[in-house]
Amino acid sequence: MPASGPREQAGAATFTILFGAFDRHNFGDLLLAHVVRRMIGQHSTSDKLYFGGLAGRDLRRHGGHRVRALAHLSATVGDAAVEVIHVGGEILTCSPWEAAVMLLPPDEAGAVVARLDSHPRERTAWARRQLGVPDLAPYLLPATLFANVRRVIVHAAGGIDLGSVESGMRAEVVAKLGAATSVGVRDRQTRAVLAANGIDCRLEPDPAVLVAELFGDRIRRRAGHGECARIGSGFPGGYLAVQCSADFGDDETLAQLASQLERVARDRHLGVVLFRAGAAPWHDDLACYQRLAARLRSAHVALFGSLDLWDICALVAHSQGFIGSSLHGGIVAGAFGLPRLGLLRPGQPPEASKQVAFASAWGAAGAPAAVPVEKLAASMDQALAIGLAQRSALAREWAAACRAAFKLVQDG
């Protein structure tokens, strides 16, 4: 990565680029951009701030940002000084193929995957053409893209599978992080792999742990409007906010998931509200939720239609607890002091779970971090039995650790 010192002359323009996977619809990535923007706002000395991704997108209709492709930003800033801040997410192991497919319109992705998925060389070549960069880890700043990089910061990156990716990709990740100004990762599993490859980095919580502190008032106001308000009035006894990715879509898993949810809902006199945490390809599938809802015959169930970031935050924050496969669904619940339970995909070992990795580093207030579907009801009983004081204390610990990490970078 090219680098330069401080500004050479007074009055020279400086640009900050927040870089991440918020160029597609995924709840956590959209939220991370807001949190990091707020955290750097009072300390930034930049003349202009941009939100950068691998593709130009306008996600403002979903509560996100107008995102510019890095290649476009490179032409925009020219020789001006640039600082690039990676906002976090599981970016260390996102391949060009995965990135390119997730950036496709959902109605196009299926055909592309069917045509190329079993042809590794062809799919990588296609992905590189789509993204316009040759990198194997494209959500880490592509080398040589900007002429005058003042500093590169990586916040709370995830990469729990980094030890098992192909060697060329791992070598690229190590080289990029080795050239960065500051590197933070959000779990010990990722940190251990990087340490074994000579990269010293700090451990810091995912920035989403600050959502209640930074945006609590906004989220509370949001709960009183639109679909959130209708859900609130439709479930006067409370509800569970439930999410699952398309990986749970086989009939057997859905039947088991419905049975377990019905048990928790019946025992606690709660409703079930199903919501999507991501509408990009390889995220959550609406048809899967519709099939699950049809199986929840003895529970009061609703399918939450909004994909707006702040609606989803309000839905989770005003629930009686979260159950799902989304790491950030659980983090938002935890930040508001609510019970939460992660779900392992069918056949997924715990060591391959982002939820387990995060809880191992930052705690789960005594509840299981993530369990197979067949253990959902018993495990959610455990989560619901934990007192509010204990859950709230953990939320404060998360927030304090996250603020300390940002201060360390800003003071460095």
DSSP 314-380: HHHHTSS-EEES-HHHHHHHHHTT--EEEEPPTT--GGG-HHHHHHHHH--TTS-SEE-GGGHHHHH
User: What's the pLDDT tens digit per position in 315-374?
Assistant: 999 999 999 999 999 999 999 999 999 999 999 999 999 999 999 999 998 999 999 999
pLDDT above 60 (res 2):
no
pLDDT above 60 (res 44):
no
pLDDT above 60 (res 168):
yes
Q: Which residue has the tokens 């130009």?
A: 56
pLDDT above 60 (res 164):
yes
Q: Which residue has the tokens 């003071």?
A: 411
Q: Which residue has the tokens 């680098």?
A: 3
pLDDT the model gives residue 12: 61
Q: What is the DSSP letter of 140?
A: S
pLDDT confidence bin for 10, thresholds 50/70/90: very low
Q: What is the DSSP letter of 135?
A: -
Neighbour-count burial of 168, counting CB atoms closer than 10 A to its CB (0-12 exposed, 13-18 middle, 19+ buried): exposed
pLDDT the model gives residue 323: 98
Neighbour-count burial of 347, counting CB atoms closer than 10 A to its CB (0-12 exposed, 13-18 middle, 19+ buried): exposed
pLDDT the model gives residue 170: 98
- Confirm or reject CATH 3.90.1170.40 for domain 215-396, answering yes or no: no
pLDDT the model gives residue 42: 52
Distance CA 39, CA 289 (A): 35
pLDDT above 60 (res 388):
yes
Neighbour-count burial of 251, counting CB atoms closer than 10 A to its CB (0-12 exposed, 13-18 middle, 19+ buried): exposed
The pLDDT mean for the chain works out to 94
pLDDT above 90 (res 3):
no
Judge contact between 350 and 272, C-beta under 8 A.
no
Going from N- to C-terminal start, the domains of the chain cover 14-204, 215-396
pLDDT the model gives residue 135: 96
pLDDT the model gives residue 6: 36
Average pLDDT on 34-39 reads 97
User: What's the pLDDT tens digit per position in 119-132?
Assistant: 999 999 999 999 99
User: What's the pLDDT tens digit per position in 70-88?
Assistant: 999 999 999 999 999 999 9
Burial string for 24-44 (b: 16+ CB within 10 Å, else e) reads bbbbbbbbbbbbbbebbeeeb
Distance CA 361, CA 283 (A): 25
Whether this prediction's pTM lies above 0.85 is answered by yes
CA-closest candidate to residue 36, choices 187, 153, 177: 153
Percent of the chain with pLDDT over 90: 92
pLDDT above 80 (res 63):
yes
CA-closest candidate to residue 15, choices 54, 45, 42, 40: 45
